[in-house]
Structures are given as structure tokens and as C-alpha cells.
A and B are shown apart, each in its own frame.
Chain A
Amino acid sequence: MDPLTVTTARPHAPETDHLDLLESHAAFVIREVAAECERPVLLFSGGKDSAVLLHIAVKAFAPQRLPFPVLHVDTGQNFPEVLAFRDRTVAMLGARLVVASVPEAIARGRVPDPGPLGSRNRLQTTALLDAIAEHGFDAAFGGARRDEDKARAKERVLSFRDAFGQWDPRRQRPELWNLYQGRVNAGEHLRAFPLSDWTELDVWRYIAREGVALPSIYFAHEREVVRRDGMWLAVNEFVAPLDHERPQWRTVRYRTVGDATCTGAVESAAVTVDEVVREVATATISERGATRADDRFSETAMEDRKREGYF
């Protein structure tokens, strides 16, 4: 027998388990889009979902290099650990990084300056759509999952965007079997969500199995935080305590990673991946509910942003 078979096969694992099928489906979607679209790009925030997406994309084309660049939509208000992780990962893969910068969009007058306390959440949409137009991208891979939000639960794996970047949930293309078709006319584009059918727990189990590297803030650490809108918000150069808020040190970790002004931490003692898996398995609050102020504006906050062209 070929010695390679002995060392890499996992003889005691069931032949196909749930994670194998999810990974295989994601790779299938990535290859279809890469084959059918002229200029795909992979949206990479440095968060766990996009880290998993990138990991699978790299595997899908190995030993060749990733056949498309990665795009980071940078609000200018990032956790430094996440930016460092982004740069480390991109350098290691030899991938080409495109940055769509919200501060640049503000400086160029593309979007109004929201000021130090205003949210840059929706401004990301303009920066993203400008980058898509500038580079002529016709498909953008994202790590969004249907279990995250009720509007995302409605979205196709390949989701069509019109020439204005808009999603129209009433007129989605039928998507039958595994027959993903990625044709668009000039100016239109697709969003592709290969992790659509993954849950938060699937993502963490996969991270544990594959040893996918993540920014350190996903694991429990000591941090100075304030309680705001029912969340622990890190005190840093972007978030100053308000008059009535009392900064305190807590042991926390992040369940999602986004803009530092609207992403909250959760109290946690989970230091290792396995401890996080156990914590996620017994969570009683959803990851976006626990950590994202941007979803709390209204009942349909995510749908409204998605219609405009958000991730």
C-alpha cells in the first residue's frame, strides 16, 4: 500500500461525516464560481467565517495558488489583532490583497463623515461596491451563513446583485440541485456564500478539526470593557467610556469580528478551540444577538442593509 495513504487517511473516522459533506459542498461552489465568472474576489475580514472560507478555497485549488484576490473592507476601526492576522495570512498564502477603505471613501467625499461616535457600518457598503466597480469584480465570495440572521436564511448560495449592487429578495433566481449558474451582465455581480448551510457550531468544529488559524481575540483574554446596549464593548482608541459608564477589566472573548465600535465581547473562560466548541454548543444567545449592535437598529436591519448591497 502507498505509505502516503496510511499516514493521511483517517481509518477510524466514518467515511463521510457531516463536516466532510459541508466542506465538499463549499469547495464545489468555490470551483464553480471560479470557473464561470471572469473576476471573482474573496471577501476576507479576518473573522472566523472568512478564515474558514479562505482555508477551503486554498484547499480547493491546491497545489496551485488561489486563482483570485482577497478583499478586505476596512472601516478604519479594526481590532489590531485582526489586522495583524489578515496581513500574516495573506503573506503566508502569497495571495493578493485588495483593501476597500472606508476612511478613504470619507476623504474622497464618497460618503459623509459620521464623526467619531457615528457608525461606519453602512458606509462599508459604499466602499465595497466602489471596489467591486473599480476592479470589475463579477463575483464576491462571502462567509455569511443562513443560520446567522432571518434575512440571510432567505438568501441563495449564489445571490444576484443588480447594477446598483442591490439584493431583491422578491426576485431571487431559482437555484436547483447543485446547478449553480453565475452569468451576469456587465455591471451586475454575484455574491457567493459557500458556507450557507453551516452553523456556528459547524464552523468551530471545522476550525478544531483543521487547525484553522484565527485572530487571538476569539479566545478568552483580559480586556478593559464598558457595558453598553447589553454588550461588553472594548475600551480603545475608537471607543471611549461615556460619562455614566464604568470601565472594568473582564475575561472575555469575541464570537464575531467586525468594526470595533459595534462589535461586543462575551464573558468567557474558553481559551482553547475545544473549549470554544463546548461553549458554542451550549450557548443560549445567537452570535449576532450577543455581539452586534448593527443588527439592533430595527427588526429588519440586516435585510435593509443587504438590499443596499451589504455583505
Chain B
Amino acid sequence: MSSDLLRLATIGSVDDGKSTLVGRLLVDTRQLFDDQLDAVVNASERRGIGDLDLAFVTDGLRAEREQGITIDVAYRYAATPTRKFIVADCPGHVQYTRNMATGASTADLALAVVDVQHGLREQTHRHLCIAALLGVRHLVVAINKMDAVHWSPTAYRSVADEVETLAGDLEFATVLAVPTSALLGDNVVEASDNLPWYHGPTILRALEEAPAGSWTAARGARLPIQWVLRQPGGGRTYAGMVAGDALRVGDAVTLLPAGVRTTITTLTTLHAGAAQSAAPGLSIDVALGDETDAGRGDLLAVEPLPRVTRSLEATVCWFADRPLGSGSRLRLKHTTRTTPARVAAVAGVIDVDSLAVEAADELRANDIGLLTLETADDLVVDDYRDNRVTGSFILVDEASNATVAAGMVGHPAFVRPQN
């Protein structure tokens, strides 16, 4: 991952001020064009909300503005002299958890917003749990609406303690709790005169200085094959995006699931043509040292090799209204391979407050559960903890084609085993 880019997702409960914070961040760092700011001012005035409803910067749908809530993720782009940001402003309502997961699945950092008057709500717990599951390693928490508690250090400390304990349980690598008033702008971009007892960074400063790249270095390069390119003269190259670790010319690779050993003889990147190596995130095509019948859905891997299996122990966030139980049939998409899948067993559901696994026969909407899945075809998988690309999958409804679950191979370390 390029270190000059930080992808962040806002998380937290409805009405704690996520969209207002993002609006404040964008307005105070002058990311909005004049006409966009004018449009937000006009929309605020038309609804009698005063001069400027900062949430309207990201709440761009008519229904969102009418109801004063965020329904789906808004992506905004910002740049300061030190860093570029892709901000995914996520909804807080429980019924839009699927949209929050969409925003957080590609994030390096979670920017959690907590109303200091309420502390951590169930939805905050759920979002932090999902962010941790998705492998977001860094957490910045705005302890928000400090103006409503007269800038009280005791109120801040109490919520900050609660957040820090939970973040520790969820094994975030870093956590920073910043007292803010997104509404008034305190400690978002500008340091606050109302909070003389706080000596830490503002939200902006924290984001600029946060470690980039969410991911512990994955072991072993992977190239899921997307497309076979026929070369003039009869040869073939295999196109895909590098995952895990850099891939190099001369690397000994194994074509999976077939198990054929070969080598990378040439490597071509989109941006620079023939190259000696390519980093994760780059689209490339490679030629192999031996004749193979590799095609879409196969995977080239450098040791340590992923495993080939038709049975997965997995952690699943379930988004559909109908329950998911043992015997349910779905389609599963993993890397570039799609295969029929069946739930063999439900091991339990994670209680987002206690992080304990509770016995359950089925997953209901927005549950996070532990499952065993069986697939019709071989999959080539790593644990999600080792590789975000080869460890992730989605489940798709066979009739409607809707994406109904986010799945991760393996179980998170932070859940407490069933009693």
C-alpha cells in the first residue's frame, strides 16, 4: 500500500455525529469547492436548519436530507500537504450495517464517533467488532459533543476508558481518543481553546500521522488469475492483481488447486511494461516456465502455500433478512472463483457486547457468526489474518443475486470460546 494514501471509514451509532464530523473535517481543510459549499448552505437554509448542516456535505441523497440520517456510504476525497485521504462516511443504523461493512472492508483506519453523553451503545460495539473482524488495525475515536457536557474532562475520561478497553479486547494495534465538538469545530482541524487539559493531537493531525497500510505484511505472494491473454506467436500470459507480497521474475510458484510447480519467466505491469517485480495492489500479467492449463479461478502462489479445501471454518457477517441456518445453499465468490456452497454447521453467534460466542442454530440479519461451509469446488485459501485477499469471500443469494454476507476464513483471535 502506498503510504501517502490513507483509507478511512467512519463508524459508530446513529446520531453520534459521524457525518457532521466528516463535514467539519472537509470544510475546515477547505476540500469543498465554492459551489459545493454554497449548495450545502442553500440546502440547510431551505430545510430551516440554520446556516450550515455539516452532515449535508456527505448526506447527498434526498431521503438522507429529509430524514437527517445516513443511509449508504458516501465516499469523499481529500488531500492535505502531507497525505491523501479516501473517506468512507458510513451509516449508523443497524439495518444499514451491510453498508457500514462495505465502507470498512477497504479501510486502513476506523474513525469512530461516540457521543460523550451516551457512551458506547450496542451499535458502536457492533461496528467496532466488525471493523476489527475486517482487519482494520488502527482506531481514532472522536469523543464527540464535548460542548454538551461543558467540556468536562471527567466525562471524556470515562468514555475514553471504556473505548480503550474495548479496543484492547478487539486487538486494535493503535487507539487514540480525541475530545471533540464536530458541530463547533473543536479539535477536528483546529486545536480547541475549550479543552486546555487535553494535550494530544487533533483529529486531522491523528489521521495525518496514523500508520498507513492496515495490514501486517502477508506471507507469500499470490496471483489469482482473472483472465488469460493470448500473445502473438502462440504463448499465453495470465493476468491478475498481486496480493500478499511482491511477486518477482524467477519466483518459484505453484499453480493451485492443480498443484503444478513452475516459475515466473516474465512479468508485465500496466504502468511500466516489462518489470522485475510487482507490489501488492498492482495489476499485472505473467508468463510461466512450463505449459499449464491455468485459467480464471486458479491461483499462482509463492511459499508458504495456501491450502486447498472444500470445507471452510469461517466468520460471517450476515446481511439478509431471512435467517441463515444449517443446510442453506448459496453461491460463494472467493478471489476470481465462484462456486456453490452450503452451510454445514452453525457454531455460534458473537455477542457484540461481551465478545463471547453464544450457541445458535442460525444467523439473523446483522449477526456475526462462526460457520462451517462446504463448497462444490476446491478453494485455495489463506486465513484472513494472513491475507485479506485470499482469506475473504462473499455469499450471494442464488435467486436474487444479492450479496448477502461477508465472510472471512478462520476465526478472530479476540472472541471468547463458548462456555
Contacts and interface: CB of A to CB of B under 8 A. Distances in A.
A286 B35 contact: yes
Given A35-B336, A173-B403, A24 B61 contact: no
Given A23-B270, A23-B271, A176 B101 contact: yes
A8 B273 contact: yes
A106 interface: no
B319 A184 contact: no
A183 interface: yes
Contacts of A31: 226-227, 239, 283
B336 to A, nearest CB: 7
Given A18-B84, A63-B232, A177-B106, A35 B226 contact: yes
Interface stretch (A46-54, A145-153, A234-242): A145-153
Interface string A12-52: 01011111110111011001101100000000000000000
Interface in B95-148: 98-99, 101-102, 105-106
Nearest to A289: B35
Contacts of A27: 270, 283
A19 B84 CA distance: 12
Given A18-B2, A24-B271, A299-B43, A176 B71 contact: no
Given A21-B281, A24-B283, A27-B270, A179 B393 contact: yes
Given A16-B2, A35-B227, A154 B283 contact: no
A10 to B, nearest CB: 5
A146 B273 contact: no
B235 to A, nearest CB: 11
A60 interface: yes
A226 B39 CA distance: 25
A23 to B, nearest CB: 6
A196 interface: yes
Contact of B396 (A17, A64, A181): A181
Nearest to B75: A146
Nearest to B33: A286
A241 B43 CA distance: 32
Given A8-B272, A9-B272, A60-B239, A303 B77 contact: no
Given A8-B272, A23-B271, A154-B60, A15 B279 contact: yes
Nearest to B398: A183
A92 interface: no
Interface in B294-329: 296, 319
A17 B2 contact: yes
Contact of A153 (B58, B99, B333): B58
Interface residues of B, number: 69
A207 to B, nearest CB: 14
B86 A197 contact: yes
Contacts of A153: 58, 60, 74-76
Contacts of B34: 284-285
B226 A289 contact: no
B229 interface: yes
Task: Specify the main secondary structure of chain B where it touches its partner.
Answer: mixed
A197 B106 CA distance: 12
B388 A289 contact: no
A303 B227 contact: no
Contacts of B84: 18
Contact of A174 (B86, B331, B406): B406
B75 A196 contact: yes
Interface residues of A, number: 64
A176 B229 contact: no
A156 B106 CA distance: 13
B62 interface: yes
Given A154-B73, A175-B102, A199-B77, A9 B274 contact: yes
A216 interface: no
B154 interface: no
A169 interface: yes
A28 B105 CA distance: 17
Contacts of B4: 17-18
Nearest to B282: A24
A285 B282 CA distance: 33
A284 B34 CA distance: 6
A303 B62 CA distance: 8
A173 B86 CA distance: 20
Contacts of A34: 227
A283 B229 contact: no
Interface string B267-296: 001111111100101110000000000001
B226 A32 contact: yes
Contacts of A9: 272-276
A59 B270 CA distance: 7
B214 interface: no
Given A9-B273, A61-B227, A299-B43, A28 B60 contact: no
Contact of A170 (B35, B63, B241): B63
A283 B402 CA distance: 40
A47 B34 CA distance: 24
Interface in A193-209: 196-197, 199
18 contacts: A2-B274, A9-B273, A21-B281, A24-B283, A35-B296, A56-B270, A63-B229, A64-B229, A146-B77, A147-B76, A150-B36, A154-B60, A170-B72, A174-B403, A178-B389, A181-B338, A289-B35, A299-B62
Given A174-B403, A176-B394, 12 more contacts: A17-B4, A24-B270, A25-B283, A150-B74, A176-B101, A176-B403, A177-B392, A183-B401, A285-B33, A286-B36, A299-B39, A299-B62
Interface of A: 2, 4-5, 8-10, 13, 15-21, 23-25, 27-28, 31-32, 34-35, 56, 59-64, 146-147, 149-151, 153-154, 156, 169-170, 172-179, 181, 183-185, 196-197, 199, 283-286, 289-290, 299-300, 303
5 smallest A-B Cβ distances: which pairs? A150-B60, A289-B35, A8-B273, A24-B283, A286-B33
